[in-house]
């Protein structure tokens, strides 16, 4: 299925390399896009974690602060394999007050604590910064360098990475079993993961279809476009020179469906993909998920790279919701098949 192993946009992989989930090999830092208020009834906590997922860290912070887990806020989810510096919030009334920098355990440490007026909400991110070390690269270095330059100038398909579908696609399999007449997953979080995997699969299939058609990064008549970095969308009835230029400069992007109820207006290729996967299409509507749109292209910002022998170090920024694996997918073999750490903010 294209959702799990989608085609590359910039040509075949330039080679192969190893990505390991250790601090010196993979680090992701959340970028909030705002500063702490400096006062208020909450504190923002910058936490460095490893070998633990976001939900586990939130529960542990609640225990330390003698709080209910719902009192802990966070902006985005990070995989347990990723070494991440991410933000949480806690009420000032917790048992730790402003002394959170004293909290340190084998799986995490609190690096900073700053007063803030509000609980941190999901999605309150500008993006994520990644530092990735690809070890023992084998392949054509000239092709790799050109591919990196292409990513810096033209972006990459905004695929959902393999983590969205669960280990060996387990979240997607759960959705398919549910929509086939089985029982919905018992826990709310597991239901959410299944629905998210189903929507992400349809999106990846639409994007893969446009990649094969050479149309993932251009506007087509009938597209629904959005402004870079924002949620504003608009229908494209006619692609004039002004719109074409804005798309070329990545000021706006074509979008694909995050399928659900109310998604009747469709862009090019979308109906045929939905019709090819009726179980996912109808199951999402029956589950009551509301339709949304997502950009088909991601901008790879501030991309830097350097070699040390056969090891390649990458550094770049992505907007929230974009996956580092989708960048690696354009560079090395089996990026979608491996267990590379992931951001799902």
Residues known to be catalytic: 79
* CA atoms of 65 and 95, how far apart (whole Å): 5
* Residue 7 CB-half CA count within 13 A: 15
CA distance 58 to 114: 17
Mark residue 2 as left, alpha or beta (left: phi above 0; alpha: psi -120 to 50; beta: remaining).
alpha
Tokens of 133: 């070390």
The alpha carbon of residue 330 and the mean position of all alpha carbons in its chain are separated, in whole angstroms, by 16
Q: Are 318 and 301 in contact (CB under 8 A)?
A: yes
**Residue listed under structure tokens 């299409």:** 281
Contact between 156 and 317 (Cβ < 8 Å): no
CB-based contacts of 167, cutoff 8 Å, min separation 6: none
Tokens 């601090």 locate to 23
């Amino acid at each position: 299925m294209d959702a799990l192993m989608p085609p590359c946009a910039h040509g075949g992989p330039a080679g192969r390399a190893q990505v390991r989930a250790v601090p010196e090999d993979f680090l992701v830092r959340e970028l909030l896009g705002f500063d702490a208020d400096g006062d208020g009834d909450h504190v923002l906590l910058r936490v460095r974690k490893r070998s633990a997922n976001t939900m586990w860290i939130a529960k542990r912070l609640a225990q330390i602060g003698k709080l209910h887990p719902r009192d802990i806020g966070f902006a985005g989810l990070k995989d347990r394999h990723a070494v991440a510096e991410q933000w949480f919030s806690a009420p000032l009334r917790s048992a730790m007050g402003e002394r959170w920098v004293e909290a340190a355990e084998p799986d995490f440490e609190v690096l900073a604590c700053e007063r803030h007026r509000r609980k941190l909400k999901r999605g309150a991110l500008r993006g994520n910064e990644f530092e990735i070390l690809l070890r023992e690269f084998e392949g054509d270095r000239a092709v790799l360098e050109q591919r990196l330059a292409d990513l810096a100038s033209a972006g990459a398909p905004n695929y959902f990475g393999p983590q969205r579908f669960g280990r060996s696609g387990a979240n997607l399999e759960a959705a398919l079993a549910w929509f086939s007449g089985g029982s919905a997953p018992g826990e709310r979080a597991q239901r959410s993961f299944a629905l998210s995997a189903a929507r992400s699969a349809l999106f990846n299939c639409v994007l893969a279809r446009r990649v094969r058609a050479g149309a993932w990064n251009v506007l087509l008549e009938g597209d629904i476009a959005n402004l870079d970095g924002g949620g504003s969308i608009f229908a494209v009835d006619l692609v004039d020179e002004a719109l074409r230029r804005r798309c070329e400069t990545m000021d706006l992007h074509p979008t694909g469906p995050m399928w659900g109820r109310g998604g009747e207006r469709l862009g090019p290729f979308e109906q045929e993909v939905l019709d090819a996967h009726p179980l996912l299409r109808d199951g999402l509507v029956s589950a009551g998920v509301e339709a949304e749109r997502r950009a088909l292209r991601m901008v790879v910002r501030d991309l830097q790279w350097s070699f040390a022998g056969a090891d390649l170090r990458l550094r770049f920024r992505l907007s929230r919701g974009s996956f580092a694996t989708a960048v690696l997918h354009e560079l090395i073999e089996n990026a979608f098949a491996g267990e590379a750490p992931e951001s799902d903010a």
